[in-house]
Amino acid sequence: MRKIQMVDLKGQYEGIKDQINSSISNVLDSSAFINGPDVHAFQKELENYLGVKHVIPCANGTDALQICMMGLGLQPGDEVITADFTFAATVEVIALLNLTPVLVDVDPDTFNIDVKAVERAITPKTKAIVPVHLFGQCADMDALMDLAKKHNLFVIEDNAQAIGAAHISKNGEKQKAGTIGHVASTSFFPSKNLGCYGDGGAIFTNDDDLANIIRGIVNHGMYVRYHHDVVGVNSRLDSIQAAVLRAKLPRLDEYNQERRNAAQKYDTAFGDQKHIIRPKTVNDCDGICDTCDCHVFHQYTLRITNGKRDALVQHLNDNGVPCGVYYPIPLHKQKAYADERYNEDDFKVTNQLVQEVISLPMHTELDDEQIDFITDLVIKFVND
């Protein structure tokens, strides 16, 4: 059996090696390392893939989130509501801009932001909601957009983990994750479903005026060289990373399907285990169906309900199986973001999840032998 990787980037690279090497070589030959032709071509290709009017590439996903908030003109003291159960980057940029983060609980089935908790958290100071499309599927965007319209709020989609996922509205309209809110951010960190070979990110919007503002912000606030019209940052996707992403983008749907196939095999193995809760999709399908692309499985995350999660992590590692706990500490308990406003009773789901969740290897190169080995280890240990 091949060595099991949490994310097998080398294996994926081997399948597209010639095209990747040729694309990088072309950039080196052109020496157009910043804002070169590959950056502009990737921007257009991603716009076409997503069906969104504007893609603005930038240096990384965290920058993308920050720039979204800068572009919307949020001011110090404005409240921004987001999920307690996610990576710190989401709340980090809120704090960096001297905005006021307001953390709320998540749904126990999808792990995405709890819309009812969002509604309870809205105050006259609230200016934006940041739903995180966690682990590969969209938050309840219909309900969130309705809330935003009712209270005149912005919706900033954190789409770092769900690029390529579909959102099906209650009216039947199908849209790509990251194209529904007022603006969205994504990350091209190497382990993402669409990852480059360094850092990279992008911002999506259908708002022409907002897109224009953001294009200035990412480039030191310049629209004309040496004319600084707004306060900006230096955040650019370099041409080599754009070339890598151009090679991968046409394969994104295929890569996501391979992840779904692996998730289905995991699901089948864990189907009758009383101490294991499998991932649930936002459309509440019976398991992971063959036709639904609502979940792209950036992570395949189980809940271990008999108190053996931490011991299972050690057991898997001892047997050569990497795994992850995303996330071990709620954001409201992190030293940097602790706040006396928070009440533990408001975070019952998150506080439970951090004790139970475990993410298994998930990538495009998983084979049946590896999946059988992983699932056998998990089932035998949990039931022992």
pLDDT value of position 281: 85
Give residue 172's pLDDT.
85
- C-alpha dist (Å) from residue 280 to 111, 121, 258: 9, 26, 18
Q: Three-state SS for 220? A: coil
Mean pLDDT taken over the chain? 96
- Angle, helix 252-270 to helix 368-383, in steps of 10 degrees: 40
Q: Is the pLDDT of residue 292 over 80?
A: no
Cα–Cα dist 20/9, whole Å: 13
Angstrom distance (rounded) from CA 235 to CA 257: 31
What helix, strand, coil percent values describe the chain, rounded to 5? 40, 15, 40
* Model pLDDT, residue 289: 65
pLDDT digit string, tens, across residues 104-128 = 999 999 999 999 999 999 999 999 9
Q: Say how many residues make up the chain.
A: 384
pLDDT tier at 317, thresholds 50, 70, 90: very high
Is the pLDDT confidence value at 284 over 70?
A: no
Q: Which of 283 and 311 is assigned the larger pLDDT?
A: 311
- The pLDDT value given to residue 285: 62
User: pLDDT for 57-105, tens place per residue?
Assistant: 999 999 999 999 999 999 999 999 999 999 999 999 999 999 999 999 9
- 98: its two tokens: 């001297």
Q: 196-252, pLDDT tens digit by residue? A: 999 999 999 999 999 999 999 999 999 999 999 999 999 999 999 999 999 999 999
**Is residue 104 a contact partner of residue 132, using CB atoms and an 8 Å limit?**
no
**How far apart (Å, rounded) are the C-alpha atoms in residues 117 and 107?**
9
Split at pLDDT 50, 70, 90, the class of 171 is confident
Return the closest-CA partner of residue 177 out of 220, 114, 134: 134
pLDDT digits (tens, 9 = 90+) for 345-355: 999 999 999 99
Distance in angstroms (rounded) separating the CA atoms of residues 109 and 324: 19
Placement of tokens 């070979």 in the chain: 197
Contact 372, 267 (CB under 8 A): no
Predicted confidence band at 135 (pLDDT cuts at 50, 70, 90)?
very high
Beta strands in the chain (DSSP E): 54-58, 79-83, 100-104, 126-130, 154-158, 166-168, 174-176, 183-187, 201-205, 222-224, 227-228, 276-277, 300-304, 357-360
